[in-house]
A and B are shown apart, each in its own frame.
Chain A
Amino acid sequence: MFAEQILNGLTLGSTYALIALGYTMVYGILELINFAHSEIYMTGAFIGLIMVTVYKMPFPLALIIAMAGSCLLGVTIEKVAYKPLRKSTRIAPLISAIGVSIFLQNAALILAGPQVRAFPVNFKSASIKLGQSIQMSSLQLLILLISIILMVGLHFLIHRTKLGQAMRATAQDKEAAQLMGIKIDRVISFTFAIGSALGGAAGVLVGVYFNSVDPMMGFFPGLKGFVAAVLGGIGNIPGAMLGGLILGIVEVLGAVYMSRYKDAIAFAVLIIILLVKPTGLLGRKLQEKV
Chain B
Amino acid sequence: MNSYYVQILTVTGINIILAVSLNLVTGFTGQLSLCHATFMGIGAYTATLAALKLGIPFAVALILGAISAALFGFIIGVPTLRLKGDYLAIATLGFGEIMKNILLNLEITGGPMGLRGIPKVTNVYVVYLCVTLVIFSLNRIMHSRVGKSFIAIREDELAAEAMGINTANFKILAFVLGAFYAGLAGGLYAFFFRYINPNNFGFMKSIEILSMVVLGGLGNTYGALLGAAIITVLPEFLRSVSPVIAQYRMVFYGILLVAMMIWRPQGIMGENKVMKRRGQAA
Total B residues in contact with A, Cβ cutoff 8 Å? 47
Query: Which residues of chain B come closer than 8 Å to A288, judged between CB atoms?
Result: 84, 158
Query: Which residues of chain A come closer than 8 Å to B83, judged between CB atoms?
Result: 274, 278
Indicate whether A107 sits within 8 Å of B275 (C-beta atoms), given known contacts A99-B256, A267-B98: no
Query: Which residues of chain A come closer than 8 Å to B247, judged between CB atoms?
Result: 110
Tell whether, in the assembled complex, residue A102 and residue B250 are in contact, meaning their CB atoms are under 8 Å apart: yes
CA distance A94 to B32 in the complex (A): 8
Interface 1/0s, chain A 117-154, versus B by CB < 8 A? 00000000000000000000000000000000000000
Indicate whether A104 sits within 8 Å of B86 (C-beta atoms), given known contacts A94-B32, A95-B210, A98-B34: no
Tell whether, in the assembled complex, residue B210 and residue A33 are in contact, meaning their CB atoms are under 8 Å apart: no
B46 at the interface (CB under 8 A from A): no
Interface 1/0s, chain A 254-290, versus B by CB < 8 A? 0000001101101100110011001000000000101
B1 at the interface (CB under 8 A from A): no
Tell whether, in the assembled complex, residue A33 and residue B254 are in contact, meaning their CB atoms are under 8 Å apart: no
CA distance A93 to B32 in the complex (A): 11
Q: Please tell me which one of the listed residues B86, B98, B259 contacts residue A263 in the complex, with CB atoms under 8 A apart.
A: B98
Indicate whether A110 sits within 8 Å of B251 (C-beta atoms), given known contacts A270-B90, A270-B91: yes
CA distance A275 to B91 in the complex (A): 12
CA distance A103 to B256 in the complex (A): 9
Closest to B276 in A: A88
B93 at the interface (CB under 8 A from A): yes
Indicate whether A88 sits within 8 Å of B95 (C-beta atoms), given known contacts A95-B214, A107-B251, A278-B83: no
The smallest beta-carbon distance between B252 and chain A, in angstroms, is 9
* Residues 8-37 of B at the A interface (beta carbon under 8 Å): 26, 30-32, 34
A194 at the interface (CB under 8 A from B): no
Q: Please tell me which one of the listed residues B87, B250, B257, B278 contacts residue A95 in the complex, with CB atoms under 8 A apart.
A: B257
A90 at the interface (CB under 8 A from B): yes
B207 at the interface (CB under 8 A from A): yes
Total A residues in contact with B, Cβ cutoff 8 Å? 50
B53 at the interface (CB under 8 A from A): no
Query: Which residues of chain A come closer than 8 Å to B257, judged between CB atoms?
Result: 95-96, 98-99, 102
Interface 1/0s, chain B 83-108, versus A by CB < 8 A? 11111011101110110011001000
Interface 1/0s, chain A 80-91, versus B by CB < 8 A? 110011011111
Query: Which residues of chain A come closer than 8 Å to B30, judged between CB atoms?
Result: 89-91
CA distance A33 to B86 in the complex (A): 8
CA distance A118 to B85 in the complex (A): 39
* Residues 223-282 of B at the A interface (beta carbon under 8 Å): 247-248, 250-251, 253-259, 261-262, 265, 274-278
Query: Which residues of chain B come closer than 8 Å to A91, judged between CB atoms?
Result: 26, 30-32, 218, 275
A252 at the interface (CB under 8 A from B): no
Query: Which residues of chain A come closer than 8 Å to B87, judged between CB atoms?
Result: 230, 274
Indicate whether A94 sits within 8 Å of B89 (C-beta atoms), given known contacts A87-B278, A88-B275: yes
Query: Which residues of chain A come closer than 8 Å to B248, judged between CB atoms?
Result: 106, 110
CA distance A95 to B261 in the complex (A): 7
Query: Which residues of chain A come closer than 8 Å to B34, judged between CB atoms?
Result: 98
Q: Please tell me which one of the listed residues A33, A99, A106 contacts residue B89 in the complex, with CB atoms under 8 A apart.
A: A33
Tell whether, in the assembled complex, residue A90 and residue B86 are in contact, meaning their CB atoms are under 8 Å apart: yes
B79 at the interface (CB under 8 A from A): yes
The smallest beta-carbon distance between A159 and chain B, in angstroms, is 27
Closest 3 CB pairs of A and B: A103-B254, A99-B257, A102-B254
- Could you give 27 example pairs across A and B, Cβ below 8 Å? A31-B85, A33-B86, A80-B258, A91-B26, A92-B265, A95-B214, A96-B258, A99-B253, A99-B254, A99-B258, A99-B259, A100-B254, A100-B258, A101-B254, A104-B254, A105-B250, A106-B250, A106-B254, A107-B251, A223-B90, A230-B87, A260-B105, A261-B101, A264-B101, A266-B94, A267-B98, A271-B91
Apart from the given pairs A99-B257, A270-B94, A274-B87, 11 other A-B contacts in the complex at a CB distance below 8 Å: A32-B86, A81-B261, A92-B275, A99-B261, A103-B254, A220-B97, A260-B105, A263-B97, A264-B101, A267-B94, A290-B158
Q: Which A residues contact B (CB, under 8 angstroms)?
A: 31-33, 35, 80-81, 84-85, 87-96, 98-107, 109-110, 219-220, 223, 226-227, 230, 234, 260-261, 263-264, 266-267, 270-271, 274-275, 278, 288, 290
